[in-house]
Structure 1
Amino acid sequence: MAYKSHVLVVGCGLSGLASALALAQTGHRVTVFERSSKLQEIGAGIQLSPNATRMLQNRGVLEEVLKYADRPEAGTFRSYRGDVFSQSPPVSDPRLVKKAPYIVIHRADLLRALLPGTRKHKIEVRLGSDVKEINFSKPSLRLSTGEVHEADVILGADGERSRCRDILEGHADPPYSPGDVVYQIPVPIADINEKHLAWDLKKRSSVIFWMGSGGHVVSYLIQHDMLNMVLVYAEGGNGKVMYGLWRADLAEFRSKISEWDPVLHEFYNVEGSVCTKWTLFQIHEPNQWSHENGRFGAAQAFEDAGVLGWIFSQSVGRDQIPDALRVFEEVHKPRASDVRRRTLDQKAMFALADGPDQEKRDAELAAGADHELFKRLWEYDAAESGREAWKTFTKTRENGVTPHIGIEGTRESSIL
């Protein structure tokens, strides 16, 4: 088989795997390097809105993903006391989820659903491969074993503790913690009956947010038989990052929400409920995603994979790879940056203490002020964005104009 180019992907988490599939399906030879000796996803549940599932649909893997996923029938925002004041997020709104669904799924199940694509599209996955150096001029990478691998382009998707990012920026840039800790309790629902306060949460698949001073709780179904309960709480601290999952005492979780909805406290009575915690951390946003030589780029999420995959599906010759990466960065970095900013704003909004700001937030959500924000985010088509960007680039170059790609309105995107 004649490949368009050879791509090395560093990192085989959800982002790296999605990007590898997008590139392999469009005729590129792909080799993925993963530092861990086995594939695993830390954490529990993940919510995928239509802008993400659309990419899975385009790549022909959504059907496999849906075997493990649940489609919520409803979504609500509630006060920490349990009062419902908004039927959002609109997870079942046919205007938003008809063509691509909103789903909830365990992260490990999502990874498992994507893996068959590596065999189908002949993607080589090399586990236990720790990347130590990247030579941007060749381009090539060197593993801790001394092995050197060359290719036409290298894609960095190695997560929060990214060696690729450190090498690109020329200095170590570890994640930092703003002081938020995530507590997670997977609750077996088999023993929840009609007498249990959480019966409504069992009989109807829903995504529910409780918002209170200092943090918020979200719940949804995973693995068809577990109710995933997650508390994001601002604890302050010295900014130190706690990597991995740590066992937490249920009393620690309970102390954060002692005056919250009685339904939440009922979960401690369900046999088999255990609590873990981890740090919610951030990274400093890089000034650029690609190296100046045009042979190295970064991928961060499913939307990135959608944009990148479509651009590289076109007649991109090896000599056009620098142009393709530049177009990818110019078209998608503004949106990614804006979504990141709005996500942080949303976290703060969810943690408002009782008072005028909280009352204003509740009134706006109750009036449906968030619908247009959901619409702009969820209707985003990453593949179409990539297609239009490359079309604009090639057309302007043909006309003898120095191409500059920009998408108007990225400041309007939101994640809620």
Structure 2
Amino acid sequence: MASEGHARLQVGIIGCGIAGLSAAIALSRAGHDVEVYERSTFSNETGAAIILGPNATRVLTRWGFDAEKAGGLDFCQMRRIKADTLELDSEQKFSNIKEKYGDRMLLLHRADLHTGIMSIVEALPEPKPKIHLGSAVKDMEPEQGSIILENGSTVSKDLVIVADGSHSRLIPRITGSEAPVIRLPMSMYRFLQPISDIMDRPEAAQFYKDQQPGFSTFYKAAVGKPGHLLNTYPCRRGFHPAVKAICEGATDVKVYNQMYRNPIETFVKRRAVLVGDAAHLMLPTHGQGASSAIEDAMALEVLLKGVSSDQVVDRLQLFNELRLPRVRAVQTFSNKMMGPPDKMIQEVKQYFSGPIPAAGSKTFGPEFVDFFLSYDVKKAAEQLLKV
């Protein structure tokens, strides 16, 4: 925690999702007064499974996150199975993750992660962050640090954290230009089922019996006419009955459109900073969206610990220097995974000077795993301050 004796910053955070709550923890630990403004009356995190790599769990562990209470499971393997023949196409084991990277790689339900992070907020010493539900933000002024609420009132802050997610309307206030969301012609159908229900169906159970926690992807290659979108569903012809059996009894099925943004030019302007999906919306191909948001928060904790109001602008420039190149690399690797790997790597080299996977590396191979999981944002931020 920050030492006493400094002038505490007045911090306003827009958004109460994973990014916003993580920032609230970080800035409170850094010794500042935090208020969070959330549009909804109760922030319901939607989504199904979420992955957190050691690059994020190291941060959460430091904050006191209870992975067991949140229902976290170690992510031990990833399998890709042909949905028509059940042939195992590829398999990757994740062993000795904690020993190699210093913490666990977790599978969690997104809502449970949100609840677990909220528990950290509630356990912080006074003055705790104040969360204002039903407080929609209309606009933000980065020069003076003003937040304009939809009810017409304005609050003035030393620092404004924009954490309002993938549909943020405030990005142009930071960058000076629009950052359109790019939607892929592809959606995901997601639902949750108790494993006990699946294990009661022998055809479905065969994929999970005696298996460690992880992801099993069932795919069926499909070829459509140029310019036409071809959707395939497990209920359609060509899917093995065992794959269909997994989907039996599915309830509350949700459709998620895959979307991302191209990397933006800056995360900061004067007294305001973008974090989380508002800053770096990416495809879930490497499971780095939430992890990057938590990294953002830890960077803010280190860089803003004990600082005064007149230091905010300079320290946010350091945040930009630290986070922008790294996150642009993570975004590019996540968003362009399906393209030629060597072309993707060459693009990253244009704005990231750190070590990256060599040309010819497999996009889910050990080189990429190491790039994502070995990064220590706290250490990187501390080294930047020393410079």
Match of 2:300 among 308, 313, 318: 308
Match of 1:275 among 248, 253, 257: 253
Q: Is 1:22 aligned to 2:8, yes or no?
A: no
Residue from 21, 29, 40 that aligns with 1:36? 40
- Code of the aligned partner of 2:272: F
Q: For residues 303 and 89 of structure 2, what CA distance do their matches in structure 1 show?
A: 43
Q: Give 1:102-113 correspondences, 5 Å limit.
A: 102-113=105-116
Q: Is the 8 A contact 1:91 1:102 kept in 2?
A: no
Q: Does 1:264 align with 2:243?
A: yes
2:160 to 150, 154, 160: 154
Measure the CA separation in 2 of the matches of 1:369 and 1:56: 25
**Are the equivalent residues in 1 in contact too, given 2:136–2:150 (CA < 8 A)?**
yes
2:376 corresponds to: 381
Q: Are residue 206 (structure 1) and residue 185 (structure 2) matched?
A: no
Match of 2:200 among 189, 193, 198: 193
- 1:65/1:114 contact within 8 Å kept: no
* Residues 9 and 19 of structure 1: CA distance in aligned 2, closer, same or farther (over 3 Å): same
Cα drift, residue 166 of structure 1: 3.4
C-alpha change, 1:93 and 1:57, in structure 2 (3 Å) is closer
Whether 1:296 aligns to 2:299 is no
Which of 309, 327, 342 is equivalent to 1:336? 327
Secondary structure of the equivalent of 1:201? coil
Q: 1:174 to 1:389 in 2, by over 3 A?
A: same
What's the C-alpha RMSD, in Å, of the aligned pairs? 3.1
Q: State the distance in 2 between where 1:69 and 1:383 align.
A: 23
Amino acid of the structure 1 residue aligned with 2:43: L
Q: Per the alignment, in what secondary structure is the counterpart of residue 253 of structure 1? A: coil
Q: Residues 288 and 138 from structure 1, CA distance in 2 versus in 1: closer, same or farther, beyond 3 angstroms? A: same
Counterpart amino acid of residue 56 in structure 2: A
Per the alignment, residue 221 of structure 1 pairs with: none
| 1:114–1:364 Cα change, 3 Å | closer
Matching residue of 1:224: none
Q: Closer, same or farther in 2 for the Cα pair 1:5/1:266, shift >3 Å?
A: same
Q: Hey, what does 2:130 align to over in structure 1?
A: 124
Q: Which amino acid aligns with 1:148?
A: T
Residues 273-326 of structure 1 deviation map (CA, whole Å, 9 limit, x = unaligned)? 4532121122343221111xx21111111111122222122x433222111111
Alignment partner of 1:390 is 2:381 = no
Return the match for 1:323 from 314, 321, 340.
314
- Matched to 2:208, the amino acid is L
1:101 to 99, 104, 112: 104
Identity of aligned residues (%): 23
Change (3 A) 1:116 1:275: closer
TM-score between the two structures when normalised by the length of structure 1: 0.73
Distance 1:130 1:6, change over 3 A: same
Report if aligned partners of 1:82, 1:260 keep a CA contact under 8 Å in 2. no
Secondary structure (helix, strand or coil) at the match of 1:41 reads coil
1:308 counterpart letter in structure 2: L
- Given candidates 136, 142, 150, the residue that maps to 1:136 is 142
CA contact (8 A) 2:174 2:273 kept: no
- Residue equivalent to 2:77: 74
* Displacement of 1:20: 1.1
Structure 1 unpaired stretches of 5+: 216-233, 238-250, 351-362, 393-416
SS, match of residue 20 in structure 2: helix
CA drift at 1:262: 4.7
Unaligned 5+ runs, structure 2: 277-292, 342-359
Contact preservation (8 Å) 1:78, 1:86: yes
Aligned-partner residue type, residue 35 of structure 1: R
Count matched residues: 340
Q: Distance in 2 between matches of 1:343 and 1:24?
A: 31
CA change 1:255–1:200 in 2 (3 A) is closer
In 2 relative to 1, CA 369–6 (structure 1 residues): closer, same or farther, beyond 3 Å? closer
1:197 CA displacement: 3.7
Q: Does 1:49 align with 2:53?
A: yes
Does structure 2 retain, via aligned residues, the 8 Å contact 1:118–1:124?
no
1:55, CA displacement in angstroms?
Answer: 1.3
Whole-Å separation in 1 of the counterparts to 2:37 and 2:264? 22
Following the alignment from structure 2 to structure 1, what is the Cα–Cα distance between the partners of residues 207 and 184?
A: 35
Q: Distance in 1 between matches of 2:325 and 2:229?
A: 30
How many Å apart are 1:272 and its aligned residue? 4.5
Q: Is the partner of 2:255 in helix, strand or coil?
A: strand
Report if aligned partners of 1:96, 1:375 keep a CA contact under 8 Å in 2.
Answer: no
